[in-house]
Amino acid sequence: MESKSYQTAAAAGSRHPEEEYDCILIGSGIGPLAAAATLAKKRGWKCLLLERHFRAGGFTHAFERKGYSWDVGIHYLGGMKPGESLYQLFQYLGDGSLSWQTMPHEFDIFEYPDLVLRVPAAEEEYRERLQSLFPAESRAIARYFIDIKKASAFLQYYVMSRLLPGPFGLALRGVEAFKARFALQTTEAYLQSHFRDEKLRALLASQWGDYGLPPAQSAFAIHSIIATHYLQGGWYPAGGGSSLLESLRPTIEKTGGMVAVNHEAQEILLDDRGRACGVRARAGQGRHAEVREFRAPVIISGAGALSTYGKLLRQPPDFLPELQALPAGGSALTLYLGLKESPAGMGFQGENYWMYAGFDHNRTAAADIEKDGPQMAFLSFPSLKDHRARKHTAEIIHIASYEPFARYVTLPWRNRGPEYEEKKARLAEQMLAFVEKRHPGFAALVDYQELSTPATVEHFTAFPRGSIYGLPATPERYRKRWLGPRTPIPGLYLTGADVASLGIGGALFGGIFTASVILGGAAFPTIMKEAMTA
């Protein structure tokens, strides 16, 4: 279901976005949605979400072509058993309207030239499979499962030290700094120091595409968060990614809030005291677009730290150069496929396939797909994971550099010229051939295909360099004290992946954290207590 646009609301005789709001949020991804739903639920706030895309939902939205439907950002989530915090938060904010479908027991398949590991949705079974493949490293493997839980716990102190003011936050900073010594080594440093076998190290890092950085660059903390997140398997929202928006939007609208699509934020407005007081946005499309100003005493930006501080503020903070010096976030090529018939005939059951040409993930990440050919692929089947799907679909994702697509960003979407289209056709053919080599007969299932590039991502999200992960999860990123919900501008807050952690789960918690800071006091534990009993 499509989100209401300003034009639709006006035509229906309902109120306009110019009316007063308690809070304006930039973006309608899961971070802003969660923050707005929390503020509506806890305080009855009327929130306006400004979305530049013509579809709401950020990376949770879906799109259709010729009856086929794909999610742009959700491929699977972990931690969706009743009683788990992420599951309970979705239930709480959406009043129990969201349901989840369990993926196959062997939900992730790691495929290498001479090695395949089928990852089960059970920690003990996963550990035993690794130990049977590498018996000489059995003790180190057992230790690994302890260490990823230890490293992932760092994030709790990282976040809480930024949530709590005064002496409580200061005390947590000391614990955070102590735990950072272990959690903020690189993933490669941990793997190299604990495992001798190159193939075992590669297997353990196979999910690096979930956080967008190879072992040499990623913080061990983020690797550990992702690894522990999926120890109990994978889930997929019934109805696809757009069902997340549809579950949270009624909570926002119940108190008078709304999502306004085709509203691109251009500047965060400050009053004469230097306090955030509104947002200037370009409303509408093409020659019918006009600049409007919306006012509220609280502004929350889900546009990411780099865009918020570097583009939306007329006077950026002193730490902007330090923020700009962080490595660029990663992007990807996504090949969306419509299939003639169910891929179940080939043995696919809805699991994800991580395919690699070799065991060196750092080399894979640095490879040039146009020169070297595809070196990896993530193959996913939205239609097999969602029983409500009407037609069968698949997606092939390849981590990609922004530079080869930078010159096309300023050209109009769907009209970037023959050179761009030829490049896309060539890359799509290579990506499909990479999968076909490993699963002969797959290409014959394809009825429709469409390739998304980093230029596409930047066009629709305005995230710098087409980043799909937010700020990259390097050790240095987690050492920045100025990254958190609070900003130097009174009345202005950040939310989403840059506040906490990446992915749908990380961005959702980012929304909760931001709302908790605004609500003050013991808001966060109160929200969590209410959610866990929802």
Domain's final residue, options 231, 259, 276: 231
Q: What is the pTM of this model?
A: 0.93
What's the full length of the chain, in residues?
A: 534
Q: Which of 157, 164, 208 is nearest to 187 (CA)?
A: 208
Q: What is the token pair recorded at 469? A: 């992960």
- Give me the DSSP letters along 415-448: -S-HHHHHHHHHHHHHHHHHHHHHSTTSGGGEEE
pLDDT digits (tens, 9 = 90+) for 21-33: 999 999 999 999 9
Q: What is the token pair recorded at 372? A: 């070297």
Residues 372, 419, single domain; the answer is yes
Query: Rounded to whole angstroms, what are the CA distances from 106 to 179, 188, 230, 381, 480?
Result: 33, 26, 11, 14, 38
Note the pLDDT of residue 414: 87
What residues of the chain score a pLDDT lower than 50? Answer: 1-15
Amino acid at 115: L
Q: What number of helices (H) and strands (E) belong to the chain?
A: 20, 19
pLDDT digits (tens, 9 = 90+) for 248-297: 999 999 999 999 999 999 999 999 999 999 999 999 988 889 999 999 99
Reduced to 3 states, what is the DSSP secondary structure of residue 37?
helix
Sheet holding 106-112, edge to edge: 115-120, 106-112, 352-356, 376-380, 393-400, 331-339, 446-452
Amino acid at 279: V
Query: Rounded to whole angstroms, what are the CA distances from 322 to 114, 249, 267, 319, 338?
Result: 44, 36, 21, 5, 44
Note the pLDDT of residue 14: 43
Residues 417, 309, single domain; the answer is no
Provide the number of structural domains found in the chain: 3
Note the pLDDT of residue 6: 36
Domain's final residue, options 440, 464, 488: 464
Amino acid at 66: K
Note the pLDDT of residue 395: 98
Note the pLDDT of residue 322: 94
Could you tell me the residue range of the domain that residue 405 belongs to?
A: 330-464
Residues 380, 456, single domain; the answer is yes
Residues 168, 226, single domain; the answer is yes
Alpha-carbon distance of 490 to 298, in angstroms, equals 9
Residues 24, 73, single domain; the answer is yes
Note the pLDDT of residue 20: 82
Dihedral of the alpha carbons of 510, 512, 514, 515, in degrees to the nearest 10: 160
Angle between helices 166-183 and 220-229 (to 10 degrees): 90
Residues 302, 343, single domain; the answer is no
Residues 447, 479, single domain; the answer is no
Residues 167, 185, single domain; the answer is yes
133 in a structural domain: yes
Query: Rounded to whole angstroms, what are the CA distances from 260 to 1, 47, 287?
Result: 15, 11, 18
Residues 126, 221, single domain; the answer is yes
Using an 8 Å Cβ cutoff, are 332 and 380 in contact? no
Residues 55, 73, single domain; the answer is yes
Q: What is the token pair recorded at 101? A: 């479908």
Residues 321, 342, single domain; the answer is no
Using an 8 Å Cβ cutoff, are 69 and 242 in contact? no
